[in-house]
Amino acid sequence: MPHIYHKMRRFGFSLLRHISSLPSSFTAPSVTRTFCLHQGVFTGSHTCYQGTFPGHSCLHRRGVSAALRQHIQDLSGPEQRLLEKLYEGLIGGQRASLAESITLVETQHPRKKELAQVLLQRVLVYRREQENRNGGKPVAFRVGLSGPPGAGKSSFIEVVGKMLTGRGHKVSVLAVDPSSCTTGGSLMGDKTRMTELSRDMKAFIRPSPASGTLGGVTRTTNEAIVLCEGAGYDIVLVETVGVGQSEFAVADMVDMFVLLIPPAGGDELQGIKRGIIERADLVVVTKSDGDLVVPARRIQTEYTSALKLLRRQSKSWNPKVVRASSHTSEGIPEAWAKMESYRDAMLASGELQGRRRAQQKVWMWSLIQENALCHFQNHPSVREALPHLEERVTKGAISPGLAADLLLKAFSSSSSPQ
């Protein structure tokens, strides 16, 4: 998705240039007490980011310092105690603190979103210290799983999760449930389908509503992954809604993307988009038991042949196709062995670390685009002109492109300094 990345980058730079040109009336009030993300204590009139930016004890540059002060405003006593409680409980492995922290990052409340970013910065510093002690290698392994409805994703995750906790791993599952586009309601059925794993003390399952998000991956899923890793979970499984775009979204936040395919889904190679298959590092043909063993073998052969014709994404790994049954557990250890082989190969070559760095930039620009759009939609000039322009577009009086240009001009002219 390089073209999308460059579009978001150009959009972000344009927005930043616009914000930097705003008059002084837009400047946030000064901050007298801020949170020190390196020492974990409250300091005076500056923000210490020694842990966040190696080689810099404090950021004295005026522009960066002002931006940090604007983002992390004065914290009250109760807010300080809340963040300290969540942080200590989180790194202590308390599931209740992890659940409360994820709720905090999922909120749409402006003030709580600021608190969530402060908490995330502390967790990032802690996680980086853990990685440094691990020789600079990631401590946790992130796996994204997706597939069409009925592929048996939840059953597969439960069997794999139980096997991993039995081997001493701590497993977290972030399951994005389908939401109604009309009411916004969510079924939240993933946790109820993982009854055994949900009772395991070494496992944490967090269902989140897609809330109409394209592809079923919420904007906070990436931040929830960071929190799970900070809580000591060394295996993070992200299950997404198999709606076509989710596979691309989840592939940009995990180390490995696993595509689950049922053996009796009709014309499989036509039913699955080529781009989705290209993103898969491992294809698992599920429900390979009973009468479905023969169809599963046929599908395995077809996908093995198809993958040979596709362009390789990695120099260190060739995508594999395996069969597995969640009902009999046959093939489950072999599927996990392939995932471990992938992780070892990518770590040895350094590709996994490079992939994570690239993913962070992609998600930064994605969030810039989302926040800029929200800022644009809530701007007074845009809200004033929008109903009239929408009416003219629906009547065919003007084109959608012209209406968009007029709204952008209204936004730019009213935001520019006089």
Q: 172 with 202, same domain?
A: yes
**Environment class of 247 (CB within 10 Å of its CB; exposed 0-12, middle 13-18, buried 19+):** buried
What is the SS3 assignment for 386? Answer: helix
Q: 106 with 202, same domain?
A: no
Taking the C-alpha atoms of residue 261 and residue 149, their distance in angstroms, rounded to an integer, is: 9
Choose the final residue of a domain: 302, 318, 349: 349
Q: What is the dihedral of CA 393, 398, 400, 403, to 10 degrees?
A: -100
Query: Quick check: 14 and 365 in contact, CB under 8 A?
Result: no
Choose the final residue of a domain: 133, 150, 184: 133
Q: 239 with 156, same domain?
A: yes
Q: 257 with 399, same domain?
A: no
Give the β-pairing of 282-285 and 235-239. unpaired
Find the domain containing 239 and state its range.
141-349
Q: 315 with 213, same domain?
A: yes
Query: CA 162, 166, 170: angle at the middle one, nearest 5?
Result: 75
Taking the C-alpha atoms of residue 272 and residue 317, their distance in angstroms, rounded to an integer, is: 22
Q: 250 with 310, same domain?
A: yes
pLDDT tens for the chain, residues 1 to 418? 444 444 445 544 454 444 444 444 443 333 333 444 434 433 333 444 444 444 444 444 455 455 445 555 578 888 889 999 999 999 999 999 999 999 999 888 888 988 998 999 999 999 999 999 998 899 999 999 988 888 889 999 999 999 999 999 999 999 876 554 433 444 444 556 788 899 999 999 998 765 545 444 566 888 999 999 999 999 999 998 665 555 677 888 899 999 999 987 654 554 466 677 888 999 999 999 999 999 999 999 988 998 888 888 888 999 999 999 999 999 999 999 999 999 999 999 999 999 999 988 888 888 888 888 888 998 999 999 999 999 999 999 999 999 999 999 989 887 665 5
**Environment class of 357 (CB within 10 Å of its CB; exposed 0-12, middle 13-18, buried 19+):** exposed
- The answer to whether residue 271 is domain-embedded is yes
pTM: 0.77
Tally of domains in the chain:
3
